[in-house]
Each structure stands twice: as C-alpha cells, then as structure tokens.
Structure 1
C-alpha cells in the first residue's frame, strides 16, 4: 500500500510541476494562452496519476488487491503506459509551441502515443481482473451472523 501512496505522490509532484512549467515556459517563449498539449499535461498527470492511484489505494485497503499477479501487471503496465502517453503529449506540446505540426513531423509520435494508450488499457483490464477476483472471493466468504441485542441472553 505504501508503494501506491508513493506513486500517487510522485504523480502529484509531476502534475503540479508540469503546470508551473507550462505557465512559465509559455510566458518565456511568448506563447502564453496558445492551445497546446502541454496545457493539459498538468490535468492528465493529476487525474490519471495521482487520483487514480489514490482510488486504487482505497480499493486495495478494502479488497487486498496488491498480492495478486493481475494487480502487479496492472501496476507496471499502467505506469509504463501513462509515462509513455504523457511524454508523447509533452513532445506534441513542444512541437506545437515551436510552430510545427506534430502530425506532419513524424509518424512515430502518434504511434508511440497510441502504444502508450494500448499499454494503459492492458493495465486497466488487469486491474479489473484483480477487482473481479477480489470481489468474488469476498462475496464467497461466509459472514458471521450477528444477532440483535434484544435476543441475546
């Protein structure tokens, strides 16, 4: 669980730094307010990184997901996919601010970004596999019946 909390913290720091970097970089280059992928990098890192891992942390606390193989697959593939995706988002943003069209620069940029999204999807599917197994085990456990206080002797 500590690893999930640390991962969330790292994404929070990256998200906040990317927001400050975008604001200062666009001021420095004179492109303030210009629409670019750099503008949304801040939000992507905070929501897909920090918030996602805080939610998974809460789910892990209740369902004990972290010992499962599918959860380990989720953790690593999701992180790799997210890092690939935000790096390509940053590259697109820099190219746009530089006056270039990222789609015409090279086919590798959308290709790598697409690969990042595919890896993210594999991670999310793995998370749901772990969730379904954990919920299935939890509902299969016999629960102790608690008698109302008025019937106890």
Structure 2
C-alpha cells in the first residue's frame, strides 16, 4: 500500500510542477499556441495521482499489493507512464521551440501508450482473483 501512496504523492508533485513549467516556459518563449505541455499537468494528475489513489483504495479492500502480478503491474505502469510523460515534455518543448514533427518521437510516444495498455491488463489480472474470491465468499455467507 505504501508504494501506491508514494506513487500518488510523487505524481502530484510532478503534476503541479508540470503546470508551473508549462506556464513559465510558454510565457518565456511568448508562445500562445497549442502544445503537449498544456495537457501534461492533467495527464500526471489523472493517470498518476488519481489512478494511484484509486489503486490504494482497491488495495485496502482486496489486498492486491502483495501479489506478484501487482508488482509487475506497478513497475510496468510507472515505466509506461514515465515514458509517455517524458515524450510529452520532449514534444511540447520542441513545439514551443518551433521544431517540426518527428516520426521517431511519435513512435516512442506510441510505445509508452502500448506499455500503459499492458500495465492495465496486468492490473485487471491482479485484481480479478481477489474480487472473484470476495464474491464467492459473499455467496457462501448468504447460503
């Protein structure tokens, strides 16, 4: 449970810092257009902070953090999210700086999203067994 708590706290700090960076960096470059930096703040807070707070509640209810599948989920998810976030920063900084599109960077960004998808599958696999056990235990009690 502590890993989820600390992950949520770190993503909160990163999300708040990303909002500050977006505001100051675009102001310093007199940039008024759209960039990936404008959504970095919300991505970090939603996919980092809020998601790990939900994981924390589910862990309290179903004790999933002690499983091997949860460990896989945790590290794969954080790796995928951090890769996605780093690529958003790179893409956003390039956009504000006036650099063109890069197919290589787009491919790496796509890889981050694929890793996140794998992590979500791992999360549901980690959650499935305890949820099924809880449902079956409830069914036994009502009989």
Give yes or no for TM over 0.5: yes
Shift of 1:138: 1.4
* TM-score, normalization by structure 2: 0.93
Q: 5 Å matches for 1:1-150?
A: 1-31=1-31, 33-102=32-101, 106-141=102-137, 144=141
What is the RMSD computed on CA atoms of the aligned residues?
1.3
In 2, Cα distance between the equivalents of 1:92 and 1:144? Answer: 55
In 1, Cα distance between the equivalents of 2:35 and 2:52? Answer: 26
Q: 1:21-64: per-residue Cα shift (whole Å, max 9, x none)?
A: 11011111111x32100110000000000000000000000011
| Bigger share in helix | 2
In 1, Cα distance between the equivalents of 2:24 and 2:104? Answer: 28
* TM-score, normalization by structure 1: 0.87
In 1, Cα distance between the equivalents of 2:33 and 2:103? Answer: 24
In 2, Cα distance between the equivalents of 1:122 and 1:73? Answer: 10
Shift of 1:5: 0.5
Gaps of 5+ in 2: none
In 2, Cα distance between the equivalents of 1:121 and 1:144? Answer: 36
In 2, Cα distance between the equivalents of 1:144 and 1:126? Answer: 30
In 2, Cα distance between the equivalents of 1:35 and 1:96? Answer: 8
Q: How many residues align?
A: 141
Gaps of 5+ in 1: 146-153
Shift of 1:2: 1.2
Shift of 1:139: 1.8
